A and B are shown apart, each in its own frame.
Chain A
Amino acid sequence: MKRYAYYLSCINESMTKELDRSIDLWQKDLDMELIKLHESTCCGGSNLEYVSPKHFALVNARNIAHAEKLGLDLVVSCNTCLMTIRTAKKKLDESPDLKREVNELLKKEGLEYKGTSEVRHLLWVLIEDVGLDVIKSKVKVPLKNFTIAPFYGCHILRPSTVLGKDNPLDPSSLDQLIEALGGTTIPYEHKNRCCGFHTLLVAEEESLNVAAEALAEAIESKADFIVTPCPLCHTVLDGYQAKALKQAHINASIPVLHLSEMVGLALGYTKKQLGIQRHIVC
């Protein structure tokens, strides 16, 4: 059984609870144990880094330090949390002064940021550690009747100086997972584009235009559903879907699944168990 520290993303604790619940269902099936870090705090959601760069370094050094205390890698299942925590890690690893300053404060909790734990997306762990062959062998209900649009989102790909796993111009990891689960992927131009989440409350019209474009392509391609490794992308593409498509004068809809739900379906869990009925479009 391979063990990991699991970062609790704010959105998965509130709006997209079904994402973590799905992982809870199947982690043992794939010989993984994700230990939830209840001490972890909000990563700053790609905003704290300019509001206060030093607080940004502190909170994420602390998030990683909790994983290091357990001697485990930190697994994240939200793209923006992934990018944000990795950005902080890069800054800390490149600046001994910053690391020292942050560690002075973390000492109060008996913590130390060393830089020994990797910060990894759940998708990467599934492919690199569990392995596509093993996943394939565990599939109980192949997704063979489904045509699936893989929406990677931005912060699992860009900036590549911080992420650097998949080719940001033509990513393939999610496609590979879909195929291992027996599904068919569509060529999807929007696979590495943006969902518009981060400006929903500041420039709503623009954000909805961005989302509508991604939804429209998936709908036109006759995909059965979109799958995304990011709960923020999910929130826009599912929660704001009706609003976005109305703005774009498109009269249609398409379900959007979390990565963890898609894996769950193929491993034999029901839609109800996976919480898919909690989605706005289902």
Chain B
Amino acid sequence: MHMTGAAEQHKEEKRDITFRVFRFNPQVDIKPYFDDYTIPVERGITVLRALNYIKEHVDPTVSFRAFCQAGICGSCGMRVNGISKLACTTQVWEELDRCKEPGILKVEPLRNMPPIKDLIVDMDPLVDKMKHYMNWIDSSMPESEMGKKEFLVSEDEFLKYDKATDCILCASCVSECTILRAHKEYVSPAVLLKSYRMNVDSRDTIHDTRLAELVKDHGVWDCTHCYRCQETCVKSIPIMDAIHGIRENALEVRGTKDTSGAKHAEAFMDDIAKKGKLVEATLPFRTNGVLWTVKNLLPMAVKMIMKRRTPPPPPMVKPSKGIKAFREEFREMTEHVKDDQQSHNK
């Protein structure tokens, strides 16, 4: 019955819809609040057009950013019914199914960025991070030649960062990021995506400096693989591929011992090669050393051992069945990878 009702509701061409808009002016208001605006909306109207209508006809004090109205400029990122997206490419009609209260669309500012007013957030921290991680090409072409000849890249190379260049810096991924929510210093997904794009560009000369910054605290190793950024991206960019790309490159260029993130990742490779199974009990000190492990995890380890969740040392892990043949295949694949690298270097 409910389904029929919803379907009929959506057949209508015009109806009154309430926009519950987040309001906050830090200079005046002690805390944020919501204002409800009920306006007639026709099918085919976007959230941005509805907000424009409210600003023009109902309440001129409602503040939001917008420019191109066509999903290109990235200005109108905001949360509609809880999800970060562009107001200009979001159909009101399609949001009706996602309303928690029927007929009421909730419109809020992006998360993880300081509020300025209403739906406007401060993008400066994001811009500062872009600068901090040097997200530009420092060209290897001498200045005297610039503008006089083309600086070509191969198609293969371009394909590596083609998708990354689709980013319009709308900051939806930044708003949804788990780790940025947990720590505001975190590099954030849009910045990692841009860093990846710069670091795979052969015309660039500051790859190593940028990478050295990326592997520090609050950098690329702090991503927790939750995939919220990628799931939210308004341009469907596989952001996690870029983050994994930076990590792969960091392991290649800087080795497997320079950071806890690299050591942690390498432990998986080592354990699989040897036993086929992960030796979880020793992961903490292989990642962070014995001192850190004792200081940080000892009380918990004692509890874990008492509950038999983790074995008392030394931890024994039985190798997978058929490990001998598996090790052989694994070793042979290592040879394949070496061959690939050699032919790539040529």
Shortest distance from the beta carbon of A133 to any chain B beta carbon, whole Å: 20
Judge whether B308 and A278 touch: CB under 8 Å: yes
Q: Which residues of B contact A54 (CB under 8 A)?
A: 333, 336-337, 340
Contact with A along B271-292 (1 / 0, CB 8 A): 1100011101101100110000
The closest CB in chain B to the CB of A189 belongs to B82
Residues 228-250 of B contacting A (Cβ, < 8 Å) = 228, 230-231, 238, 240, 244-245, 247-248
Judge whether A205 and B183 touch: CB under 8 Å: yes
Given contacts A199-B179, A201-B288, A240-B300, contact A159 B333 (CB under 8 A): no
Contact with A along B72-98 (1 / 0, CB 8 A): 000000000001000000000000001
Selected contact of B300 from candidates A160, A169, A239, CB within 8 Å? A239
Judge whether B183 and A206 touch: CB under 8 Å: yes
Judge whether B225 and A154 touch: CB under 8 Å: yes
Q: Does A271 contact B (CB under 8 A)?
A: no
Judge whether A280 and B245 touch: CB under 8 Å: no
Residues 143-164 of A contacting B (Cβ, < 8 Å) = 154-155, 158-160
Bound-state CA distance A51–B283 (Å) is 16
Given contacts A49-B244, A158-B231, contact A199 B223 (CB under 8 A): yes
Q: Does B109 contact A (CB under 8 A)?
A: no
Judge whether B309 and A16 touch: CB under 8 Å: yes
Contact with A along B198-230 (1 / 0, CB 8 A): 000000000000000000011001111111101
Judge whether A202 and B287 touch: CB under 8 Å: yes
Judge whether B226 and A194 touch: CB under 8 Å: yes
Q: Does A44 contact B (CB under 8 A)?
A: yes
The interface stretch among B7-15, B115-123, B128-136, B314-322 is: B314-322
Bound-state CA distance A159–B230 (Å) is 7
The closest CB in chain A to the CB of B266 belongs to A51
Contact with B along A204-222 (1 / 0, CB 8 A): 1111011000000000000
Judge whether A198 and B224 touch: CB under 8 Å: yes
Residues 238-254 of A contacting B (Cβ, < 8 Å) = 239-240, 242-243
Q: Does B140 contact A (CB under 8 A)?
A: no
Q: Does A106 contact B (CB under 8 A)?
A: yes
The interface stretch among B37-45, B164-172, B323-331 is: B323-331
Judge whether A51 and B265 touch: CB under 8 Å: yes
Judge whether A42 and B268 touch: CB under 8 Å: yes
The closest CB in chain A to the CB of B304 belongs to A239
Q: Which residues of B contact A201 (CB under 8 A)?
A: 260, 264, 283-284, 287-288
Judge whether A41 and B268 touch: CB under 8 Å: no
Q: Which residues of B contact A15 (CB under 8 A)?
A: 280, 304, 309-310
Shortest distance from the beta carbon of B113 to any chain A beta carbon, whole Å: 18
Shortest distance from the beta carbon of B83 to any chain A beta carbon, whole Å: 6
Bound-state CA distance A279–B308 (Å) is 9
Q: Which residues of B contact A38 (CB under 8 A)?
A: 320-321
- Most-contacted residue by chain A among B226, B284, B296, B328 (CB, 10 A): B226
The closest CB in chain A to the CB of B273 belongs to A55
- Most-contacted residue by chain A among B218, B247, B309 (CB, 10 A): B309
- B interface size (C-beta, 8 A): 69
Q: Which residues of B contact A198 (CB under 8 A)?
A: 224-226
Judge whether A206 and B304 touch: CB under 8 Å: no
Q: Which residues of B contact A13 (CB under 8 A)?
A: 277, 317
Bound-state CA distance A13–B283 (Å) is 15
Judge whether A206 and B186 touch: CB under 8 Å: yes
- Most-contacted residue by chain B among A47, A204, A278, A280 (CB, 10 A): A47
Judge whether B320 and A40 touch: CB under 8 Å: yes
Q: Which residues of B contact A14 (CB under 8 A)?
A: 280-281, 310-311, 317
Residues 164-192 of B contacting A (Cβ, < 8 Å) = 178-179, 181-183, 186
Bound-state CA distance A108–B178 (Å) is 43
Given contacts A10-B278, A39-B321, A42-B276, contact A202 B309 (CB under 8 A): no
Q: Does A52 contact B (CB under 8 A)?
A: yes
Shortest distance from the beta carbon of A116 to any chain B beta carbon, whole Å: 20
Judge whether B277 and A51 touch: CB under 8 Å: no
Q: Does A101 contact B (CB under 8 A)?
A: yes
The closest CB in chain B to the CB of A207 belongs to B224
Selected contact of A199 from candidates B98, B222, B247, CB within 8 Å? B222
Judge whether B265 and A209 touch: CB under 8 Å: no
Q: Which residues of A contact B251 (CB under 8 A)?
A: 50-51
Q: Does A58 contact B (CB under 8 A)?
A: yes
Interface set of B (CB-CB < 8 Å, partner A):
83, 98, 178-179, 181-183, 186, 217-218, 221-228, 230-231, 238, 240, 244-245, 247-248, 251, 260-261, 264-266, 268-269, 271-272, 276-278, 280-281, 283-284, 287-288, 296, 300, 303-304, 307-311, 317, 320-322, 325-326, 328-330, 332-334, 336-337, 340
9 closest pairs, A vs B, by CB?
A41-B276, A158-B227, A194-B226, A50-B244, A209-B182, A206-B182, A10-B278, A38-B321, A199-B224
A58-B329, A159-B230, A159-B240 known; 5 other A-B pairs, CB under 8 Å? A55-B334, A58-B330, A108-B329, A199-B224, A206-B224
Interface set of A (CB-CB < 8 Å, partner B):
10-11, 13-16, 38-42, 44-55, 58-59, 62, 80, 101, 105-106, 108-109, 154-155, 158-160, 168-170, 193-194, 196-199, 201-207, 209-210, 239-240, 242-243, 277-280
